[in-house]
Chain A
Amino acid sequence: MIDGLIIMKRQLLQLIRLPEVLIFSTIQPVMFVLLFRYVFGGAINTPGTDYVQLLMPGIFVQTVAFTVAATAIGLSEDMSKGLIDRFRSLPISRSAVVLGRTLGDATLNIVVLIVMGLTGVLVGWRPSSGALSIAAGFGMLLLFGYAMSWMGVLVGLSVRDTRVANSVVFLFVFPMTFLSNAFAPTTGMPKPLQYVAEWNPVSTMVAGIRSLFGLTNQFGATANSFPSQHPITMSLIYIILIMVIFIPLSVQKYKKVSPR
């Protein structure tokens, strides 16, 4: 456990030594906030609410979902540079490196969410629920990001090259975040896709966060399905499911992995 924290500290130290990384990992979500707010905001009709209120939960979830990319790319870089080999030759527990990595990426998520939230406030985002609900919303976001990070561990340790990690993740996460209620109503989609969107963990997360931030989810709930009725429960189930599946797989993979 201590070993994991030391590895995590290494990642945070990297941010100090190379602040560009932090800047660029926050600049993209901030850019998304601004683009969606001003490009789609005018085009999407949201009776009774500003688009930005609905947008912010969506973009928060998208950002933490991309933790899978950060983790995968970071780990596969460590692998190709031989750092993982060095770690594996040390008398530390077999889970320390991946644990540290996921904790590090989770910490980075906190910073990114804060910056995004402040940007959101600047462009008119005002969550209307109480402080506790809002905190619970952010807690869920971090938890979801952490679960996604473990998915990233498996990808990062499985691919042979960082570029592959990058494209694998984007091919998977990009559609996942857009085939959802994050940015636009799912009602505009063809019927089969609506079901996919409805059951998509990104949608349940977004719907859950919206309700925690005191909004009605105008972008979902077409099919009256279980996930759209109980977004928070469903999201928590997804989070647990992802962790239960990917943590053991990732640790197992780490034990066996050898670069190239």
Chain B
Amino acid sequence: MNGDFIGSEAIVITGEVIGVVIVSKKYAVVAENLVKTYGETRALDGLSLEVEEGTVLGVLGPNGAGKTTTVRILATLLTPDSGHASVAGIDVVKDPQKVRELIGLSGQYAAVDETLTGWDNLVMFGRLYHLNVKGAKERATQLLEQFSLTDAARRPIKTYSGGMRRRLDLAASLIIKPKVLFLDEPTTGLDPRGRLEMWEVIDELVKGGVTLLLTTQYLEEADQLADEIAVIDHGRVIARGTSDSLKKEVGGERLEVTVEQSKVAETAKLLSELTQSKAHIEEGLHRISVVAHGGSARLIEAVRALDAAQISPLDIGLKRPSLDDVFMSLTGHVAEEILTEEEGGKKKGKKDKRGNRK
């Protein structure tokens, strides 16, 4: 382990004995100083992370932060420009074939054959994982059962719903009972019901003891599924820790108040005093937000205080911390979406969503 790692760990996880942490944990996935550039864009800029055996690491970040690039490198689909990575102790660059025997990959990009049925796909992938015909069929039956897809087994994937498709995709990555599973944004694009179903499925797997690296844009998802969260931005890990420790850093719930333009400054001052924390102002929206420890009690206080000052808010409410809030408190700016090669297809321009800092 290099010095950087010890340093970053020490900042985020407070209260743990650093030396012991390093020595006693057994890592299923280790990435050290990964760098990957696409032309001018640095998709990964010295990214390091570890996943302890049998645990779930949630890699949280906005589009273009480097999540997919990280997964692709760890899953041997992409070679880093520099840095090292290993899965189950095997170097992904030096011995990719061995790594492939130990991992499962499912996500935004790794897919199944849509023309074929669910059954066809699972049997084919089973065969490609070198199960014999009988073994592949047995495993396909098991997996279809496990993911509640038995009824749809003989239908082409094209006819599946988004949630069913993802489940089949996930099933295909579990054929060999992988040591390490990579899920790249497993619920992106799913409706709320599909998302919940997927969470249940993943939760089951985690209980079964699989080591999982999962990327997501949703804090809620990372919170729900991961033991530890690594927040990444611009190709680097900017914070790590448990969901609780991150939330502590974010400051839990925020109180958001929207008022008329003329009242913005006054309201900000008032709220800041009330909550003893710095007010964040979004000028264009006339919206002021402050960290609100104490939840609804704070909300009521705020309403009273505003009323007393004869300010009538256009909108007021409590907001649970989102990815943006995590970014706000960690980096001082809102999560940006950056155009990188990996998302080139989406043709999203660089959005300037920098929050106005006070």
Contacts and interface: CB of A to CB of B under 8 A. Distances in A.
Contacts of B129: 90-91
B138 to A, nearest CB: 17
Interface residues of B, number: 34
A122 to B, nearest CB: 31
A14 interface: yes
Contacts of B341: 260
B127 A18 contact: no
B73 to A, nearest CB: 11
B172 interface: yes
A14 B128 contact: no
A133 to B, nearest CB: 39
Given A17-B156, A260-B345, A88 B172 contact: no
A163 interface: no
A17 B117 contact: yes
A83 B100 CA distance: 15
B175 to A, nearest CB: 9
Interface stretch (B74-82, B216-224, B255-263, B327-335): B74-82
A120 to B, nearest CB: 30
A181 to B, nearest CB: 38
B342 A10 contact: no
A85 to B, nearest CB: 5
A81 B108 CA distance: 10
Interface string B114-157: 11110010001101111000000000000000000000000010
A259 interface: yes
A85 B103 contact: no
A43 B172 CA distance: 57
A6 B341 CA distance: 32
Query: By DSSP majority rule, is chain A's interface helix, strand, loop, or mixed?
Result: helix
Contact of A81 (B72, B111, B172): B111
B97 interface: yes
Interface in A1-27: 3, 6-7, 9-10, 13-14, 17-18
A136 B337 CA distance: 59
Contacts of B75: 89
Nearest to A80: B345
Q: Which of A14, A17, A81, A87 is packed against the most chain B CB atoms within 10 Å?
A: A17
B309 interface: no
Contacts of A139: none
Nearest to A81: B111
A106 B76 CA distance: 30
Contacts of A6: 124, 127-128
B209 interface: no
A85 B113 contact: no
Interface in A180-237: none
B130 A91 contact: yes
A83 B157 CA distance: 13
A88 B110 CA distance: 9
A89 B128 contact: no
A124 interface: no
A248 interface: no
B355 interface: no
Contact of B344 (A18, A88, A90, A260): A260
A259 B101 CA distance: 22
A83 B113 contact: yes
Contacts of A82: 108-111
Nearest to B182: A89
B112 interface: yes
A10 to B, nearest CB: 5
B345 A88 contact: no
Given A85-B111, A86-B105, A258 B78 contact: yes
A92 interface: yes
Contacts of A91: 97-98, 100-101, 129-130
A67 B18 CA distance: 61
A256 to B, nearest CB: 8
A82 B114 CA distance: 11
A8 B101 CA distance: 22
A163 to B, nearest CB: 13
Interface in B72-107: 72, 75-78, 97-98, 100-101, 103, 105
Q: Which of B115, B341, B345 is packed against the most chain A CB atoms within 10 Å?
A: B115
Contacts of A89: 75-77, 100, 103, 105, 110
B109 A259 contact: yes
A14 B156 CA distance: 10
A85 B77 contact: yes
8 contacts: A6-B127, A13-B124, A17-B116, A18-B156, A81-B111, A83-B112, A83-B113, A90-B125
Interface of B: 72, 75-78, 97-98, 100-101, 103, 105, 108-117, 120, 124-125, 127-130, 156, 172, 341-342, 344-345
Closest 7 CB pairs of A and B: A82-B111, A82-B109, A91-B100, A86-B110, A89-B105, A91-B101, A85-B110
Given A90-B125, A91-B98, A260-B344, 15 more contacts: A3-B128, A10-B113, A14-B115, A17-B120, A18-B115, A82-B111, A83-B111, A85-B105, A86-B110, A88-B77, A89-B76, A89-B100, A91-B129, A96-B128, A260-B345
